[in-house]
Amino acid sequence: MNAFNSYVKKFLERVQTAHFLAWPYGELVNERDRHADVLSAPLTLHCGVTLKNRLVKAAMSDSLGDGAGRPSEQQIELYRRWADGGAALSIIGEVQVDHRFAEKPGNLVVGPRTDDTLLRRLAEAGSTDRAQIWPQLGHAGALAHAPISNPAGPSALDLDGLRCDELSLAEIKELPTAYARAASHAQAVGFGGVEIHAGHGFLLSQFLSPLFNRRSDHYGGSIEARCRILSEILQQVRHAVGDDFAVAVKINSSDQLDGGLSEADSLTAIELIDAESVDLIDISGGTYFPGAPASSDRRSAGPYFIDFARRARSVTHTPLMATGGFKTRAEAAEAVASNAVDLIGLARPLALDPDLASKWTRPGGGDPSFPEFDAPPPGGLTAWYSMRLTAIADGIEDEWDVELSDAIEAYEARDAERVDTWRRAFEVSNGEAG
């Protein structure tokens, strides 16, 4: 977009949000005001943290770590941008509790080698204007990035495109401490909460899933046993951070895979989570299992998990968020107004327009236009959106107009370049590249 077009776009947005154009259209204005009212209502969580509105920047692995697990200046700018854009909360995707099992070499790591000054600056940048910023604490398990790790999950697997070892019982017993240590660390550097990532086929989602978890000890078998490690982690995290810090969980409504986590089992897991001290349950679905449908690559119309969220309401008192598929303000307002969920998680919409939360909480609104791609390859959309986050971080999103294939190439090249940095920083001598 050239400078003139960008100026016109900003002018029109301002005029729209200032009501000038809207007032003659009675009912339309009322409807728009109602949407703004619903979405701008604050929500106070059990821990006492108040979210200033109902719009959350869902976890996105932004690949903007510096390659050694530390925040980059670009990443700090990205989160400042979302806070300035009005999101009540931004969740930083894939912040690793153990550098040995990262999802990508652009992830952050919260651990002994972390640069706390940079983490503090990230927490500060993301919390301007009463916004909250929480790291999503992750461990990729079987889906750890092979060039920098030896992937290991609940059970050993040797499938096309996915090979992993089995975690020993002793290694499983160490997990609650690792998550609790990372959560305390996040709290110490100024974040207001954490989201425990138990979705999308990463470690805790692998434990929940019969496809990944074939254990015969008390961490495998029934859904109660498959959920045990998640419950133990939640207990230890809460013990470490105290009552005033937000603890959320992201969980799949189902894996959308034959033999994976079913909706019925997910509802039981939500009931079990409800018994812990949790402030928010973020509902998603799908996995990054090779060839499987991932939520971030999905293109179907309408919010994906609202029907499931309505069913989850009957088994939990914990506030609910649904992430996935929201494309219009009307859909978001309807999901909250109908009491299906308390919060709306937005990933791609906030990658398209980092100011969307401001627009959707003011009269006038304005929905993003979504790009259309012909037959994108698996992971292609996620790569394109990921590169768009870099454009936002660099302040060039208005001019950014990149072909899918170029975005995928740039995304893959950046990760490949960072592998050596990661291996040096963490003295990795194993992994496929070793």
Q: Rule CB under 6 A: is residue 105 a binding residue for ligand FMN?
A: no
**Interaction residues for ligand FMN, span 137-196 (CB under 6 A):** none
Task: Pick from 135, 192, 193, 199 the residue near ligand FMN by CB under 6 A.
Answer: 199
Q: Rule CB under 6 A: is residue 58 a binding residue for ligand FMN?
A: yes
Binding letters toward ligand FMN, positions 223-252, x by CB under 6 A: ---------------------------x--
Q: First CA to last CA across the chain, in angstroms? A: 44
| Residues 6 or more apart in contact with residue 4 via CB below 8 angstroms | none
Kindly tell me which of 202 and 426 has the beta carbon lying closer to ligand FMN: 202
61: DSSP letter: -
Percentage helix, strand, coil for the chain under 3-state DSSP, each rounded to 5 = 45, 15, 40
Give the nearest distance from C-beta 7 to ligand FMN in angstroms.
29
User: Which of 187, 283, 286 lies closest to 241 in space, CA to CA?
Assistant: 187
Q: Rule CB under 6 A: is residue 197 a binding residue for ligand FMN?
A: yes
Task: Pick from 65, 71, 151, 349 the residue near ligand FMN by CB under 6 A.
Answer: 349
| Beta strand ranges found along 114-213 (DSSP E) | 132-138, 152-153, 157-159, 162-166, 193-198
Beta strand 246-252 pairing with 280-284? parallel
Give the nearest distance from C-beta 104 to ligand FMN in angstroms.
9
Give the nearest distance from C-beta 286 to ligand FMN in angstroms.
8
Give the nearest distance from C-beta 14 to ligand FMN in angstroms.
26
What the block records as the tokens of 17 is 């949000």
Output the residue with the shortest Cβ distance to ligand FMN.
93
Q: Rule CB under 6 A: is residue 323 a binding residue for ligand FMN?
A: yes
**Burial status of residue 338 (CB atoms within 10 A of its CB: 0-12, 13-18, 19 or more):** exposed
The residue type of 111 is: G
Q: Rule CB under 6 A: is residue 254 a binding residue for ligand FMN?
A: no
Task: Pick from 346, 357, 391, 393 the residue near ligand FMN by CB under 6 A.
Answer: 346
Task: Quote the CA–CA distance of 324 and 122 in Å, as a whole number.
Answer: 25
Which residues lie near ligand FMN (CB under 6 A)?
58-61, 93-94, 136, 197, 199-200, 250, 284, 295-296, 323-326, 346-349, 382, 385-386
